[in-house]
Structure 1
Amino acid sequence: MGVTFAPNRVGRLRAAAGALHRSLAHVAKLALDVALPTLCISCREPVDGEGVCAACWGKLSFIERPYCPKLGIPFVYDPGPELLSMEAIAAPPAYAKARAAVRYDEVARTLVHQLKYQDRTDLAPIMGRWMVRAGRELLADADLLVPVPLHWRRGFSRRYNQSGALARVIARASGVRMQGDALRRVRATEQQVGLSRPQRASNVQGAFQVSADRLHDVQGRRVVIVDDVLTTGATVDACARALLRAKAAEVRVLVFARVVDAPRAPI
């Protein structure tokens, strides 16, 4: 004869089993935290919780309003809406707007270099979340995320594209679809580091192209280019021109960090 249990007893057994499972999971997490303490994503010192220690947090310079509505360059004071920076007026880019989460300073440089060159893909989630916060306006009605591509040779040596890693985090957080193969780098280029502004522009001229089988994904779409750092803007501008040639409706740029030479005043 089989043994039967009253429904309320079954419920109590399930609740007890669930509580035991949660308790064991909590104990396991505590043991792991003791064995492997959480480290600051920048300096690797132990921290409570996840993210950045107090010392590194104090060195991060998040970009907040007021800033140039086109380039996202921070202003020293609020001039009112829609007043542009000198850079935006003197050399308007192909893209409509650019936003960055932080200034490219000591801590930001460390994070970018570790993500790009030291296989620290574990940094992408928190960096990407900061980018979502900074780019909320750009992402609100965007149709497509497109990471700046690497040339296949550089991609082979690095094993992954840091811009793609950031774009995947942003796609999950924002719900905007990512198309990682929409843009191709059709010509190998020199490293931009150490090049002047004109040299940077010449270096990436004609280096990007929309894949023929992705034209339908780009046409008529509001596209957000994702990259790690914006210095002179030459790379993302070349990407934007390629997307606009493929009939994108509008191109915007979202980066983790941007170089800010000095406090800017609007004109």
Structure 2
Amino acid sequence: MASLLSRSLAPAPALIKAARRLVFPDQCPRCGTLVAEEGGLCGPCWRDTPFLAGLVCDLCGTGLIGPDDGSLPHCDACRSLPRPWAKGRAVFDYSGAARHMVLGFKHGDRLDLGPHLADWMAARAGPLIRPGMVLVPVPVHWRRLLARRYNQAAVLTRLLAPRLGLAHLPDALRRCRNTPPQSGDGFAGRAAALEGAIAVTRRQQPRLAGRPVLLVDDVMTSGATLTACCTALLAAQVPLVHVLLLARAHQRA
């Protein structure tokens, strides 16, 4: 009886949420302006955020010109460069307010942006999900991890796991050496720098074998890092890799 009474007197989640909003009003995650909806952008930030919707490349998620007629087209870059993954989607073009948010999350300790970014990524992930799929983040080298204190891709997979109902393996991949950051070298230069730099961890290989993987990263530029990760996964008997990104940056081959 006491247990039933305590449950009946417990505040409803809607009341708790309303009370919290009275004390902590919802704010735009980009600029801090008060907004009417939790997790929503204010008007100016929404207009300055280039969400990728409509017709997009089926491999990298970049926006394409034309009607969304249900076809699965590829952009020029993905037609000309090897992409060992089967499908990909991205939330933003890497410009405007999207670039500001990604940089804040990645380099500015704006981990408070994580839930908002994960919500947007989960909304784009539908075409990528397969039965038994596991989430795997693109790894960072331990030296860079010490300097940055967190791997932003691993933060995203942890937040995405309950949203998508998938298991995640944050340590499935490792960087065997500290490669330089993205530069203007294009795909060929980046691919050469990354050769042999990413491997599947021995401890997690049995959990990966035979299961499709959703590979997660913040920004795709040339695609060389994703290619190196995907190549390592496929060599570890992963049958299928899809890619989920926060942003797609413009690059040259």
Whether these two folds match at TM > 0.5 is: yes
Distance apart, 1:127 and its partner CA: 0.5
* Alpha-carbon distance in 2 for matches of 1:256, 1:72: 10
State which of 61, 66, 70 in structure 1 corresponds to 2:59: 70
**Which consecutive segments of 4 or more residues in structure 1 shift more than 4 A?**
10-23, 25-28
State which of 19, 22, 29 in structure 2 corresponds to 1:41: 29
Distance apart, 1:21 and its partner CA: 11
Q: Is the 8 A contact 2:50 2:96 kept in 1?
A: no
- Which residue number in structure 1 is paired with residue 121 of structure 2? 131
Distance 1:92 1:54, change over 3 A: same
* Alpha-carbon distance in 2 for matches of 1:64, 1:20: 36
* Alpha-carbon distance in 2 for matches of 1:204, 1:174: 30
* Alpha-carbon distance in 2 for matches of 1:224, 1:178: 9
Distance apart, 1:31 and its partner CA: 5.5
Q: How many residue pairs align between the two structures?
A: 249
Distance 1:59 1:15, change over 3 A: same
Q: Secondary structure at the match of 1:252?
A: strand
Q: Is the 8 A contact 1:142 1:224 kept in 2?
A: no
5+ long unaligned stretches in structure 2:
none
Q: Secondary structure at the match of 2:71?
A: coil
TM-score, with length taken from structure 1 = 0.83
Q: Is the 8 A contact 2:215 2:243 kept in 1?
A: yes
Distance 1:27 1:236, change over 3 A: closer
Distance apart, 1:88 and its partner CA: 2.5
- Which residue number in structure 2 is paired with residue 264 of structure 1? none
1:22-81, Cα deviation, whole Å (9 max, x unpaired):
97x578635523xxx433211223333323111101111221231222332322113762
* Alpha-carbon distance in 1 for matches of 2:206, 2:173: 13
* Alpha-carbon distance in 2 for matches of 1:131, 1:111: 14
Moved more, 47-56 or 11-20: 11-20
Moved more, 66-75 or 121-130: 66-75
* Alpha-carbon distance in 1 for matches of 2:57, 2:220: 15
Q: Secondary structure at the match of 1:213?
A: coil
State which of 204, 223, 244 in structure 1 corresponds to 2:213: 223
- Which residue number in structure 2 is paired with residue 56 of structure 1? 45
Larger Rg over CA atoms: 1
Distance 1:147 1:123, change over 3 A: same
State which of 230, 240, 243 in structure 2 corresponds to 1:250: 240
Distance apart, 1:13 and its partner CA: 7.4
Q: Is the 8 A contact 2:154 2:170 kept in 1?
A: yes
Distance 1:189 1:30, change over 3 A: closer
State which of 2, 20, 34 in structure 2 corresponds to 1:29: 20
